[in-house]
């Protein structure tokens, strides 16, 4: 950085100081210009007051005494969780967790909702706390779709309580759950598609048990319009912005 508090070259190659401050996410470019003119910006320990001063990516920039750093880009992935893996970082009783399926660089990611030990399917993990909150809080009503194999042969009238929203778990009323009876692969077993906008602990298993149709297999196939597709067991995919918007829809 070739500049002092009062003068210096603005023609050297590099990035305008106010743009660099904005790019680092500290404030808007216009606000950065104000801080520069007020003498509240330092580059490599020197106060800079000249607008248009050029800096490079290695220059140390401080605004009002706070040194700025590159804002880390949030990472969001989808994982095909297999049965037998916990959605926890560590459990003394279970060696296999979803984090053992991921490279160490993703171990800081947090799950947006969980799947129990014996369930499988689509799991989203992210470093974006706001996204996690949105995908998990019932008030946002993001739909989650499950493929469920139950014991027995339920008829529509047997499952009508799911759609009425009159069922309760832990003394709390459950939101309505949409269902579709798909097929009966063998005697005394039935595939059902369930869609719900909330996810209490072991909700599907406990509700179906109450209705008399215990769950034999459970797989989450979609969150919003983001589908698991043909992603293999134990494999993950880094999500782009378009994928995240599908999950939010």
* Residue 230: Cβ within 10 Å count: 7
Active-site entry in 116, 158, 170, 230 = 116
3-state secondary structure of 112: coil
Q: How far is CA 119 from the centre of its chain?
A: 19
For residue 116, which of 203, 196, 175 has the smallest C-alpha distance?
203
CA angle 112, 113, 118 (to 5 degrees): 130
230 counts as catalytic? no
| Beta-strand runs (E) in 15-166 | 15-16, 41-43, 46-47, 54-55, 61-63, 66-67, 76-81, 110-111, 120-126, 144-151
CA atoms of 111 and 139, how far apart (whole Å): 18
| Catalytic positions, written as ranges | 116
């Amino acid at each position: 950085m070739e500049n002092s508090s009062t003068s210096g070259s603005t023609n050297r190659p590099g990035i305008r100081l106010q743009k660099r401050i904005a790019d680092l996410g500290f404030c808007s470019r216009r606000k950065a210009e104000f801080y520069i003119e007020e003498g509240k910006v330092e580059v490599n320990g020197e106060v800079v007051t000249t607008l248009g001063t050029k800096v490079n990516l290695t220059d140390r920039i401080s605004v009002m005494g706070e040194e700025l750093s590159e804002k880390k880009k949030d990472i969001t992935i989808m994982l095909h969780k297999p049965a037998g893996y916990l959605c926890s970082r560590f459990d003394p009783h279970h060696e296999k967790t979803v984090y053992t399926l991921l490279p160490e660089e993703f171990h800081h990611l947090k799950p947006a909702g969980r799947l129990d030990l014996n369930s499988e399917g689509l799991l989203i993990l992210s470093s974006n706390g706001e996204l996690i909150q949105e995908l998990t809080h019932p008030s946002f009503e993001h739909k989650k779709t499950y493929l469920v194999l139950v014991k027995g042969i339920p008829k529509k009238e047997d499952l009508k309580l799911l759609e009425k929203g009159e069922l309760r778990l832990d003394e709390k009323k459950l939101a309505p759950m949409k269902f579709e009876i798909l097929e009966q692969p063998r005697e005394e077993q039935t595939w059902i598609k369930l869609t719900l906008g909330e996810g209490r602990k072991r909700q599907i298993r406990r509700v179906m048990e109450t209705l008399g149709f215990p769950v034999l297999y459970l797989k989450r196939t979609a969150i919003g319009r983001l589908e698991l597709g043909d992603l293999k067991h134990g494999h993950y995919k880094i999500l782009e912005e378009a994928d995240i918007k599908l999950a939010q829809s």
